């Protein structure tokens, strides 16, 4: 990347800068005449003599002549305004394009960073540099050449005009500029140094905040929040001191500039007035000079501000480039080059005297030589260096000594279009992207856009965006295209990929998890009418099963005329599923319409009384439990943090009655009964009479619901699919009963039986694939994330699969099933598996044993499992 901001500007925007420059120069004659014309208006039209005057062959009396010159002045104002508008628009577009280019290049640099680099610089430093720190560069780049030319040219036009009126006034106008030009850069140097300190300090703060976000569980677990607060406060104090000193110095510079600028009018009024009195210049000339000087301050101030901005931007740019100018970057060609989709790695991978060590650190691997067949399975066991060996084989690290070859090709020289498609790596902590489960599974197949539908409504917009991307030096690949590489996956289209995906989910023991995610997922009513019909069939089939005497008590079915004791009071009142937050259970006590319904059926005071009773019971049961106790989550309506707030409220209600509570206290009390489940909580607050009144409230709620709120709830209808409810709730159309042993398991088996009979399992798994995995896969367990990573690697159908202890967190039975399934799937294909238990190597044709960063021994499991071998020692230790 260019070391200087101006070299970057000239390299990528010379043509556009020239266009802006030409327009700027063309505007100067019009600007000059806009200064000259007021003098003519004052001297010739207003104070002139000898009318009529001739103008372009026409004679004008005084008033028409005044109107003509005034009209010409207005035309010049419009022309100058159009020039400014066009120039500023071009500068704005140019600046934004260059900012986009810079951010894109910095992001490419991040992708080219060697992995060890991320141990030295955190995301808390990198992200602000690409986003916030370079943000001001966009505006500056557009102004970098045009602004000094425009403002300098404008200043020159004003000065030429003033000198043309009188040389003495011209000398007075420029007399203090040399002094300012000498003094300001000297004052600015210290501001520049402080700016560098501020940038470094803010990066450190970003790093600390990123650490706190990543390690927040450790902070709470060790009660170190006070230390972190002190640390961040200290750093904020450093930034405060730096910024305050910058402000002082900047405002002193501004004060000095303003003071100097106010001296020049003194010369004009005194000297110019004297010259007018003596008749050396006309009054109109002095008026024009004063008007020109009034505008003169603007461009001079802009030039001074430009100088300060230039220095600030120069510091930002140089410091950003310094962080991204890493000498050991991956060559750009390896990242950008494409490859023939039919390219395969078939020859053995040969390590020849390979070494690896981080900069200024000890060697982790030293003199490693071995052969990894790409049609067989290799196990790796032993000590330190196993992670690095696996990552070298996957080309995630580059050797610092020796060579790795595949046939006659050096692995380090192969483009990522080959290694990234034909080699798959699964580590111990695999990353999940913030997307759906399906997107994460297919992530390894998104290499290049394959097809793009032409002629649709968005084709013109895509062409525009592609052209703009090229202008900014960005890729013009469209996200609307199909990015899935079906051929690499060994499939011929979406349907065969779907079948293969479901098969691989079974291999990695993830099929049941995806099935459960599907049951708890939702389906839009209009997406697939056939699926909706079959789910309703499943509801009817389950209803028939539950009609049997032995099954009847497992699920309490929704009925419009019956209260459901296994559902919350809120669910009973709605008799439907909330759509959005309007009627969520936590918002019910604040919802104006719900409160209106309670008032209509005279339930407001009853809810308030029930709320006080619930709060009193919670206090009696849980007051002595420590904060965070599991009973709070399982049985309490009130969290451990909120419980102390309710104690004085209950005491107040018991002493002075519920009417003594404040409005906010009443709201908090009324929120509690909505969460009550009679069959579960058994507090005796919902008797037959209350059930009847709640059913009356249900009917009132549905009957009087305003049209504006109808989209916020979807009512339960026996023969209709409810799009706001999960698949499982649609099939059950009721609530699982509380209080019976193993009810959940029995109902789950019944639902599974019905689903399998109707051949709905794969459909529900498909819905499960659309499950949103959360930030970094946080809505999946660690074990599930590892299984997803294994499935993702298998879907790539790579020539070499490298697995680095990816199954270490699984239970023994799951490990055995997954190992056997993967090795069976990978028969005749390359596998390198770093094992956490040496005994698992018996399934592999070849075993490599690492000790002290070197291959201590290699061979088959049977050859190595002998007394006196390193392998024998490892097995004994296991």
Instruction: Collapse the DSSP code of 717 into the 3-class scheme (helix H, G, I; strand E, B; otherwise coil) and give the result.
Output: coil
Q: Quote the pLDDT of residue 528.
A: 76
331 domain-assigned = no
The percent of residues above 70 in pLDDT, for the chain, comes to 88
Please list, residue by residue across 163-196, b when 16 or more beta carbons sit within 10 angstroms of its beta carbon and e when fewer do: bbbbebbbebbeebeeebeeebeeebeebeebbe
For residues 125-141, average pLDDT: 81
795 domain-assigned = yes
Q: Are 544 and 550 in contact (CB under 8 A)?
A: no
Q: Which residues contact 503 (CB under 8 A, 6 or more apart)?
A: none
Q: Is the pLDDT of residue 353 over 70?
A: yes
Task: Judge if pTM exceeds 0.85.
Answer: no
**What is the CA 397 to chain-centroid distance, rounded?**
27
- In this structure, the answer to whether residues 413 and 538 fall within a common structural domain is no
pLDDT tier for residue 242 given thresholds of 50, 70 and 90 = confident
825 domain-assigned = yes
Highest mean pLDDT, choosing among 53-57, 330-334, 388-392 = 388-392
Q: Which residues contact 508 (CB under 8 A, 6 or more apart)?
A: 787, 790, 791, 794, 818, 821, 822
Check which CATH number belongs to the domain holding 273 and give it: 1.20.1560.10
Q: How far apart are CA 419 and CA 207, in angstroms?
A: 32
- In this structure, the answer to whether residues 637 and 730 fall within a common structural domain is no
Could you tell me the two tokens for 515? Answer: 């099935």
- In this structure, the answer to whether residues 420 and 541 fall within a common structural domain is no
Q: Quote the pLDDT of residue 130.
A: 81
Q: How far apart are CA 354 and CA 332, in angstroms?
A: 24
261 domain-assigned = yes
Question: For residue 401, what are the β-bridge partners?
Answer: 355
pLDDT tier for residue 496 given thresholds of 50, 70 and 90 = very high
- In this structure, the answer to whether residues 147 and 199 fall within a common structural domain is yes
- In this structure, the answer to whether residues 295 and 357 fall within a common structural domain is no
Q: Quote the pLDDT of residue 465.
A: 84
- In this structure, the answer to whether residues 628 and 679 fall within a common structural domain is yes
pLDDT in tens, 205-219: 877 777 777 777 777
Q: Is the pLDDT of residue 453 over 60?
A: no
pLDDT in tens, 61-71: 888 888 888 88
Query: Is residue 399 classed exposed, middle or buried when 0-12, 13-18 and 19+ CB atoms within 10 A define those classes?
Result: buried
User: In what side-by-side order are the strands of the sheet with 363-372?
Assistant: 363-372, 349-357, 401-406, 409-410
Q: Quote the pLDDT of residue 374.
A: 94
- In this structure, the answer to whether residues 624 and 705 fall within a common structural domain is yes
471 domain-assigned = no
679 domain-assigned = yes
Domain that holds residue 695: 565-715
Q: Quote the pLDDT of residue 379.
A: 95
The H-or-E segment that residue 847 falls in is strand 846-851
Q: Are 232 and 204 in contact (CB under 8 A)?
A: no
Q: Are 331 and 315 in contact (CB under 8 A)?
A: no
168 domain-assigned = yes
Last residue of one domain, picked from the residues 696, 715, 734: 715
Last residue of one domain, picked from the residues 739, 769, 799: 769
pLDDT tier for residue 180 given thresholds of 50, 70 and 90 = low
Q: Is the pLDDT of residue 389 over 70?
A: yes
Kindly report the length of the chain.
Answer: 878
Q: Quote the pLDDT of residue 399.
A: 93
Number of domains in the chain: 4
For residues 769-797, average pLDDT: 92
For residues 461-487, average pLDDT: 86
552 domain-assigned = yes
Please list, residue by residue across 440-478, b when 16 or more beta carbons sit within 10 angstroms of its beta carbon and e when fewer do: bbbbbbebebeeeeeeeeeeeebeebeeebebbebeeee
Query: Is residue 39 classed exposed, middle or buried when 0-12, 13-18 and 19+ CB atoms within 10 A define those classes?
Result: buried
Check which CATH number belongs to the domain holding 858 and give it: 3.40.50.300
- In this structure, the answer to whether residues 67 and 208 fall within a common structural domain is yes
pLDDT tier for residue 281 given thresholds of 50, 70 and 90 = low
- In this structure, the answer to whether residues 48 and 61 fall within a common structural domain is yes
State the DSSP string of 101-150: HHHHHHHHHHHHS-GGGGGTS-HHHHHHIIIIITHHHHHHHHHTTHHHHH
- In this structure, the answer to whether residues 682 and 725 fall within a common structural domain is no
pLDDT tier for residue 609 given thresholds of 50, 70 and 90 = very high
CA distances for 166 relative to 45, 393, 682, angstroms: 22, 81, 99
- In this structure, the answer to whether residues 168 and 130 fall within a common structural domain is yes
- In this structure, the answer to whether residues 315 and 387 fall within a common structural domain is no
pLDDT in tens, 647-678: 899 999 999 988 899 999 999 999 999 999 99
């Amino acid at each position: 990347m260019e070391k200087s901001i101006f070299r970057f500007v000239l390299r990528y925007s010379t043509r556009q800068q020239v266009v802006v420059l030409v327009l700027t120069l063309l505007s100067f004659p019009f600007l000059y005449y806009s200064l000259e014309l007021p003098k003519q208006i004052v001297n010739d039209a207003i104070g002139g003599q000898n009318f009529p005057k001739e103008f372009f062959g026409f004679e004008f009396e005084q008033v028409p002549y005044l109107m003509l010159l005034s009209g010409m002045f207005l035309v010049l104002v419009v022309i100058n305004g159009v020039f400014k508008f066009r120039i500023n628009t071009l500068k704005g577009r140019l600046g934004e394009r260059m900012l986009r280019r810079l951010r894109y290049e910095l992001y490419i640099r991040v992708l080219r960073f060697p992995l060890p680099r991320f141990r030295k610089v955190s995301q808390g430093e990198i992200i602000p540099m690409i986003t916030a720190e370079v943000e001001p560069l966009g505006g500056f780049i557009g102004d970098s050449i045009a602004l000094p030319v425009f403002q300098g040219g404008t200043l020159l036009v004003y000065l030429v005009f003033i000198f043309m009126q009188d040389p003495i006034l011209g000398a007075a106008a420029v007399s203090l500029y040399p002094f300012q030009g000498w003094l300001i850069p000297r004052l600015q140097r210290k501001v520049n140094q402080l700016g560098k300190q501020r940038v470094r300090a803010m990066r450190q703060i970003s790093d600390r905040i990123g650490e706190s976000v990543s390690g927040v569980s450790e902070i709470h677990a060790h009660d170190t929040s006070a230390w972190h607060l002190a640390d961040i406060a200290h750093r904020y104090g450093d930034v405060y001191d730096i910024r305050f000193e910058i402000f002082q110095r900047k405002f002193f510079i501004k004060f000095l500039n303003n003071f100097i600028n106010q001296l020049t009018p003194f010369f004009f009024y005194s000297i110019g007035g004297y010259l007018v009195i003596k008749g050396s210049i006309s009054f109109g000339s002095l008026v024009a000079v004063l008007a020109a000087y009034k505008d003169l301050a603007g461009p001079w101030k802009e030039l001074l501000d430009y100088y300060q901005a230039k220095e600030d931007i120069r510091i930002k740019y140089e410091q950003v480039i310094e962080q991204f100018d890493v000498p050991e970057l991956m060559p750009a060609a390896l990242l950008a080059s494409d490859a023939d989709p039919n390219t395969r790695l078939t020859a053995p991978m040969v390590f020849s005297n390979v070494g690896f060590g981080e900069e200024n650190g000890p060697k982790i691997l030293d003199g490693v030589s071995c052969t990894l067949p790409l049609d067989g399975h290799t196990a790796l066991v032993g000590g330190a260096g196993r992670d690095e060996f696996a990552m070298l084989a996957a080309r995630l690290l580059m050797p610092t000594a020796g060579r790795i070859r595949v046939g006659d090709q050096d692995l380090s020289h192969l483009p990522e279009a080959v290694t990234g498609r034909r080699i798959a790596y699964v580590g111990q902590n695999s990353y999940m992207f913030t997307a759906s489960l399906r997107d994460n599974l297919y992530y390894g197949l998104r290499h290049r856009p394959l097809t793009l539908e032409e002629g649709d409504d968005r084709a013109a917009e895509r062409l525009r965006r592609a052209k703009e991307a090229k202008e900014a030096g960005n890729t013009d690949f469209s996200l609307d295209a199909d990015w899935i590489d079906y051929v690499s996956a060994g499939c011929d289209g979406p349907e065969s990929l779907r079948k293969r995906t479901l098969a691989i989910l079974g291999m990695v023991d993830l099929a049941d998890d995806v099935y459960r995610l599907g049951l708890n997922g939702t389906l839009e009513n209009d997406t697939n009418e056939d699926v909706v019909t079959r789910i309703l069939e499943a509801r009817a089939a389950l209803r028939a099963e539950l009609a049997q005497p032995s099954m009847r008590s497992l699920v309490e079915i929704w009925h419009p005329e019956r209260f459901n004791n296994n559902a919350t009071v809120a669910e009973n009142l709605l008799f439907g599923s909330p759509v959005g937050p309007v009627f969520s259970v936590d918002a019910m006590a604040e919802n104006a319409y719900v409160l209106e319904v309670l008032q209509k059926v005279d339930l407001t005071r009853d809810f308030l009384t029930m709320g006080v009773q619930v709060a009193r019971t919670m206090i009696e049961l849980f007051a002595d439990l420590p904060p965070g106790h599991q009973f709070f989550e399982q049985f309490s309506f009130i969290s451990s943090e909120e419980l102390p707030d309710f104690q004085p409220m209950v005491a107040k209600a018991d002493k002075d009655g519920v009417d003594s509570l404040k409005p906010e206290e009443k709201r908090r009390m009324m929120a509690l009964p909505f969460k009550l489940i009679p069959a579960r909580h058994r507090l005796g607050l919902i008797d037959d009479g209350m059930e009847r009144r709640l059913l009356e409230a249900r009917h009132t709620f549905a009957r009087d619901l305003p049209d504006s709120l109808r989209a916020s709830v979807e009512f339960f209808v026996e023969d209709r699919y409810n799009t706001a409810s999960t698949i499982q709730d649609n099939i059950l159309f009721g609530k699982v009963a509380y209080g019976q042993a193993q009810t959940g398991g029995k109902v789950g088996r019944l639902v599974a039986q019905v689903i399998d009979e109707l051949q709905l399992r794969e459909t529900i798994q498909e819905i499960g694939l659309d499950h949103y995995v959360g930030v970094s896969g946080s809505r999946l367990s660690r074990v599930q994330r590892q299984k997803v990573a294994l499935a993702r690697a298998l879907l790539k159908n790579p020539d070499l699969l490298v697995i680095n202890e990816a199954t270490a967190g699984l239970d023994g039975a799951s490990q055995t099933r997954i190992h056997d399934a993967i090795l069976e799937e990978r028969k005749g294909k390359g596998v390198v598996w770093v094992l956490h238990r040496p005994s698992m190597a018996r399934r592999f044709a070849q075993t490599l044993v690492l000790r002290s960063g070197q291959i201590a021994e290699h061979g088959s499991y049977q050859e190595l499992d002998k007394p006196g071998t390193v392998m024998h020692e490892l097995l004994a230790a296991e």
